[in-house]
Structure 1
Protein backbone atom coordinates (compact mmCIF):
# COMPACT_ATOMS: atom_id res chain seq x y z
CA UNK A 1 0.00 0.00 0.00
CA UNK A 2 1.94 3.01 -1.27
CA UNK A 3 -0.76 5.37 0.00
CA UNK A 4 0.86 5.30 3.44
CA UNK A 5 4.17 6.60 2.11
CA UNK A 6 2.31 9.20 0.05
CA UNK A 7 0.53 10.42 3.18
CA UNK A 8 3.82 10.65 5.03
CA UNK A 9 5.24 12.78 2.20
CA UNK A 10 2.13 14.99 2.29
CA UNK A 11 2.47 15.40 6.06
CA UNK A 12 6.15 16.35 5.76
CA UNK A 13 5.31 18.99 3.16
CA UNK A 14 2.36 20.31 5.14
CA UNK A 15 4.34 20.63 8.38
CA UNK A 16 7.07 22.55 6.58
CA UNK A 17 4.63 25.03 5.05
CA UNK A 18 2.35 25.32 8.09
CA UNK A 19 5.23 26.65 10.15
CA UNK A 20 3.87 25.39 13.47
CA UNK A 21 0.34 26.69 12.86
CA UNK A 22 -2.73 24.50 13.36
CA UNK A 23 -3.58 22.63 10.13
CA UNK A 24 -7.31 22.43 9.41
CA UNK A 25 -7.56 21.24 5.80
CA UNK A 26 -5.13 19.80 3.26
CA UNK A 27 -6.30 19.77 -0.37
CA UNK A 28 -4.74 17.29 -2.77
CA UNK A 29 -5.31 16.82 -6.51
CA UNK A 30 -4.85 13.23 -7.70
CA UNK A 31 -4.80 12.10 -11.31
CA UNK A 32 -6.46 8.85 -12.37
CA UNK A 33 -3.18 7.57 -13.81
CA UNK A 34 -1.40 7.76 -10.44
CA UNK A 35 -2.89 4.44 -9.26
CA UNK A 36 -3.92 5.94 -5.92
CA UNK A 37 -7.03 4.57 -4.24
CA UNK A 38 -8.77 7.61 -2.68
CA UNK A 39 -10.33 5.58 0.14
CA UNK A 40 -6.95 4.08 1.05
CA UNK A 41 -5.32 7.50 0.96
CA UNK A 42 -8.00 8.89 3.29
CA UNK A 43 -7.57 5.98 5.70
CA UNK A 44 -3.78 6.32 5.71
CA UNK A 45 -4.12 10.06 6.26
CA UNK A 46 -6.07 9.42 9.47
CA UNK A 47 -3.12 7.36 10.74
CA UNK A 48 -0.40 9.76 9.64
CA UNK A 49 -2.07 12.96 10.82
CA UNK A 50 -2.37 11.55 14.33
CA UNK A 51 1.25 10.39 14.36
CA UNK A 52 2.39 13.80 13.06
CA UNK A 53 0.43 15.79 15.67
CA UNK A 54 -2.14 17.13 13.20
CA UNK A 55 -5.21 15.31 14.59
CA UNK A 56 -7.75 17.79 13.19
CA UNK A 57 -6.31 18.06 9.68
CA UNK A 58 -8.88 16.97 7.13
CA UNK A 59 -7.82 15.67 3.74
CA UNK A 60 -9.88 16.91 0.77
CA UNK A 61 -9.26 15.05 -2.46
CA UNK A 62 -9.89 16.29 -5.97
CA UNK A 63 -9.78 13.36 -8.38
CA UNK A 64 -8.83 14.25 -11.96
CA UNK A 65 -9.73 12.02 -14.88
CA UNK A 66 -7.22 11.00 -17.51
CA UNK A 67 -7.21 12.94 -20.78
CA UNK A 68 -4.89 12.54 -23.76
CA UNK A 69 -4.25 14.29 -27.05
CA UNK A 70 -3.47 12.06 -30.00
CA UNK A 71 -0.39 13.05 -31.96
CA UNK A 72 -1.69 11.13 -34.99
CA UNK A 73 -5.23 12.47 -35.40
CA UNK A 74 -5.18 15.46 -33.01
CA UNK A 75 -8.23 14.42 -31.01
CA UNK A 76 -8.45 15.07 -27.26
CA UNK A 77 -10.13 12.23 -25.40
CA UNK A 78 -10.82 10.98 -21.91
CA UNK A 79 -9.24 7.67 -21.04
CA UNK A 80 -11.28 5.27 -18.94
CA UNK A 81 -8.55 2.73 -18.18
CA UNK A 82 -5.14 3.49 -16.73
CA UNK A 83 -3.91 0.27 -18.35
CA UNK A 84 -4.72 1.19 -21.95
CA UNK A 85 -3.55 4.65 -22.89
CA UNK A 86 -4.20 5.10 -26.58
CA UNK A 87 -6.44 7.18 -28.78
CA UNK A 88 -10.02 5.86 -28.75
CA UNK A 89 -10.60 7.40 -32.18
CA UNK A 90 -7.71 6.00 -34.24
CA UNK A 91 -6.15 3.48 -31.80
CA UNK A 92 -2.76 5.17 -31.96
CA UNK A 93 -0.55 4.73 -28.90
CA UNK A 94 1.21 8.01 -29.78
CA UNK A 95 -0.59 10.26 -27.30
CA UNK A 96 0.33 13.10 -24.98
CA UNK A 97 -1.13 12.89 -21.48
CA UNK A 98 -2.89 16.20 -20.74
CA UNK A 99 -4.46 15.30 -17.39
CA UNK A 100 -4.33 12.36 -15.04
CA UNK A 101 -0.70 12.38 -13.88
CA UNK A 102 -1.30 14.95 -11.14
CA UNK A 103 -0.36 14.39 -7.53
CA UNK A 104 -0.25 17.79 -5.93
CA UNK A 105 -0.96 19.46 -2.62
CA UNK A 106 -2.95 22.43 -3.90
CA UNK A 107 -3.66 24.33 -0.68
CA UNK A 108 -3.76 24.32 3.10
CA UNK A 109 -6.07 25.94 5.61
CA UNK A 110 -4.15 26.86 8.76
CA UNK A 111 -4.95 28.93 11.82
Structure 2
Protein backbone atom coordinates (compact mmCIF):
# COMPACT_ATOMS: atom_id res chain seq x y z
CA UNK A 1 0.00 0.00 0.00
CA UNK A 2 2.97 2.36 0.28
CA UNK A 3 2.80 2.75 -3.51
CA UNK A 4 -0.55 4.55 -3.24
CA UNK A 5 0.91 7.02 -0.75
CA UNK A 6 3.80 7.56 -3.16
CA UNK A 7 1.37 8.20 -6.02
CA UNK A 8 -0.63 10.69 -3.94
CA UNK A 9 2.60 12.57 -3.14
CA UNK A 10 3.67 12.59 -6.82
CA UNK A 11 0.30 14.04 -7.89
CA UNK A 12 0.38 16.64 -5.08
CA UNK A 13 3.88 17.76 -6.09
CA UNK A 14 2.94 17.89 -9.79
CA UNK A 15 -0.17 19.96 -8.99
CA UNK A 16 1.90 22.48 -7.02
CA UNK A 17 4.28 22.87 -9.95
CA UNK A 18 1.46 23.03 -12.51
CA UNK A 19 -0.35 25.90 -10.72
CA UNK A 20 -3.65 25.02 -12.35
CA UNK A 21 -2.31 24.29 -15.83
CA UNK A 22 -3.22 20.94 -17.41
CA UNK A 23 -0.34 18.45 -17.30
CA UNK A 24 0.29 15.85 -20.02
CA UNK A 25 3.24 14.04 -18.42
CA UNK A 26 5.47 13.67 -15.37
CA UNK A 27 8.95 12.21 -14.98
CA UNK A 28 9.73 10.59 -11.63
CA UNK A 29 13.01 9.09 -10.38
CA UNK A 30 12.47 6.27 -7.86
CA UNK A 31 15.53 5.27 -5.88
CA UNK A 32 15.72 2.46 -3.40
CA UNK A 33 13.65 -0.65 -3.09
CA UNK A 34 12.00 -2.00 -6.23
CA UNK A 35 8.41 -1.01 -6.97
CA UNK A 36 6.09 -2.44 -9.58
CA UNK A 37 5.76 0.11 -12.44
CA UNK A 38 2.27 -1.17 -13.29
CA UNK A 39 1.10 -0.59 -9.71
CA UNK A 40 2.61 2.91 -9.75
CA UNK A 41 0.96 3.68 -13.11
CA UNK A 42 -2.45 2.54 -11.84
CA UNK A 43 -2.05 4.37 -8.51
CA UNK A 44 -0.94 7.53 -10.30
CA UNK A 45 -4.03 7.45 -12.54
CA UNK A 46 -6.30 6.98 -9.52
CA UNK A 47 -4.62 9.79 -7.55
CA UNK A 48 -4.78 12.15 -10.55
CA UNK A 49 -8.47 11.53 -11.25
CA UNK A 50 -10.46 14.78 -11.24
CA UNK A 51 -7.35 17.00 -11.20
CA UNK A 52 -5.42 18.88 -13.86
CA UNK A 53 -3.04 15.88 -13.85
CA UNK A 54 -5.76 13.44 -15.00
CA UNK A 55 -4.77 11.64 -18.20
CA UNK A 56 -1.06 12.50 -17.86
CA UNK A 57 1.48 9.79 -18.55
CA UNK A 58 4.06 8.90 -15.92
CA UNK A 59 7.65 8.16 -16.91
CA UNK A 60 9.44 6.21 -14.17
CA UNK A 61 13.22 6.07 -13.91
CA UNK A 62 14.13 3.26 -11.53
CA UNK A 63 17.39 3.38 -9.55
CA UNK A 64 17.56 0.30 -7.31
CA UNK A 65 19.82 0.13 -4.29
CA UNK A 66 22.89 -2.06 -4.51
CA UNK A 67 24.70 -4.16 -1.91
CA UNK A 68 28.46 -3.86 -1.57
CA UNK A 69 30.18 -6.76 0.18
CA UNK A 70 33.26 -5.96 2.23
CA UNK A 71 34.24 -9.66 2.19
CA UNK A 72 34.39 -10.33 -1.56
CA UNK A 73 34.29 -6.74 -2.87
CA UNK A 74 31.28 -7.46 -5.09
CA UNK A 75 28.50 -4.93 -5.71
CA UNK A 76 25.11 -6.28 -6.73
CA UNK A 77 21.77 -4.52 -7.44
CA UNK A 78 19.12 -5.28 -4.82
CA UNK A 79 16.26 -7.39 -6.13
CA UNK A 80 14.57 -8.05 -2.80
CA UNK A 81 14.76 -7.17 0.89
CA UNK A 82 16.59 -10.45 1.56
CA UNK A 83 19.51 -9.21 -0.54
CA UNK A 84 20.08 -6.41 1.97
CA UNK A 85 21.03 -8.90 4.72
CA UNK A 86 23.70 -10.91 2.92
CA UNK A 87 25.89 -10.72 -0.19
CA UNK A 88 24.13 -12.42 -3.12
CA UNK A 89 27.56 -13.48 -4.47
CA UNK A 90 29.41 -15.01 -1.49
CA UNK A 91 26.81 -15.04 1.28
CA UNK A 92 28.88 -12.73 3.49
CA UNK A 93 27.06 -10.55 5.98
CA UNK A 94 29.54 -7.66 6.12
CA UNK A 95 27.56 -5.63 3.57
CA UNK A 96 26.52 -2.03 3.06
CA UNK A 97 23.77 -0.63 0.89
CA UNK A 98 24.57 1.98 -1.72
CA UNK A 99 22.34 4.30 -3.67
CA UNK A 100 19.51 6.69 -2.97
CA UNK A 101 16.27 5.75 -1.27
CA UNK A 102 13.99 8.56 -2.40
CA UNK A 103 11.37 9.62 -4.91
CA UNK A 104 11.99 12.78 -6.96
CA UNK A 105 9.57 14.52 -9.30
CA UNK A 106 12.09 15.54 -11.94
CA UNK A 107 9.82 17.30 -14.40
CA UNK A 108 6.29 17.93 -15.58
CA UNK A 109 5.09 18.53 -19.12
CA UNK A 110 2.44 21.19 -19.27
CA UNK A 111 -0.14 20.87 -22.02
CA UNK A 112 0.31 23.52 -24.73
CA UNK A 113 -2.03 26.45 -25.12
CA UNK A 114 -2.29 27.70 -21.54
CA UNK A 115 -0.47 30.81 -20.39
CA UNK A 116 0.71 31.07 -16.81
CA UNK A 117 -0.76 33.96 -14.84
CA UNK A 118 1.06 34.63 -11.55
CA UNK A 119 -1.14 34.73 -8.45
CA UNK A 120 -2.74 38.17 -8.06
CA UNK A 121 -1.94 39.29 -11.61
CA UNK A 122 -4.59 40.39 -14.05
CA UNK A 123 -5.47 38.12 -16.94
CA UNK A 124 -3.52 39.08 -20.07
CA UNK A 125 -5.43 41.02 -22.70
CA UNK A 126 -6.18 38.87 -25.74
CA UNK A 127 -4.37 39.90 -28.88
CA UNK A 128 -6.66 41.44 -31.49
CA UNK A 129 -7.38 39.24 -34.44
CA UNK A 130 -5.48 40.30 -37.50
CA UNK A 131 -6.75 40.02 -40.99
CA UNK A 132 -4.65 37.91 -43.25
CA UNK A 133 -4.16 39.17 -46.73
CA UNK A 134 -2.42 37.80 -49.75
CA UNK A 135 1.00 39.08 -50.58
Larger Rg: 2
Residue in structure 2 matched with residue 51 of structure 1 by the alignment: 50
Moved more, 67-76 or 20-29: 67-76
Local SS of the residue matching 2:83? coil
Residue in structure 2 matched with residue 27 of structure 1 by the alignment: 27
Q: What is the rounded CA distance, in whole Å, between the counterparts of 2:94 and 2:56 in structure 1?
A: 41
Structure ranking higher in helix proportion:
1
Deviations 1:23-48, CA, capped at 9 Å, x for gaps: 121111224615x3221111111111
CA-based RMSD of the aligned residues comes to 2.3
Contact 1:75 1:89 in 2 (8 A): yes
Contact 1:72 1:92 in 2 (8 A): yes
Structure ranking higher in strand proportion:
1
TM-score of the superposed pair, with normalisation by structure 2: 0.65
Moved more, 82-91 or 42-51: 82-91
Matched residues, number? 110
Residue in structure 1 matched with residue 7 of structure 2 by the alignment: 7
Shift of 1:71: 3.1
Please, which runs of 5 or more residues in structure 2 have no aligned partner? 112-135
Q: What is the rounded CA distance, in whole Å, between the counterparts of 2:49 and 2:18 in structure 1?
A: 16
For residues 1-111 of structure 1, the aligned pairs below 5 Å read 1-31=1-31, 33-34=33-34, 36-85=35-84, 86-99=86-99, 101-111=101-111
Deviations 1:61-104, CA, capped at 9 Å, x for gaps: 12233322223443222233332322233322332222373422
Please, which runs of 5 or more residues in structure 1 have no aligned partner? none
Higher RCO (C-alpha 8 Å, min separation 6): 1
Contact 2:22 2:53 in 1 (8 A): yes
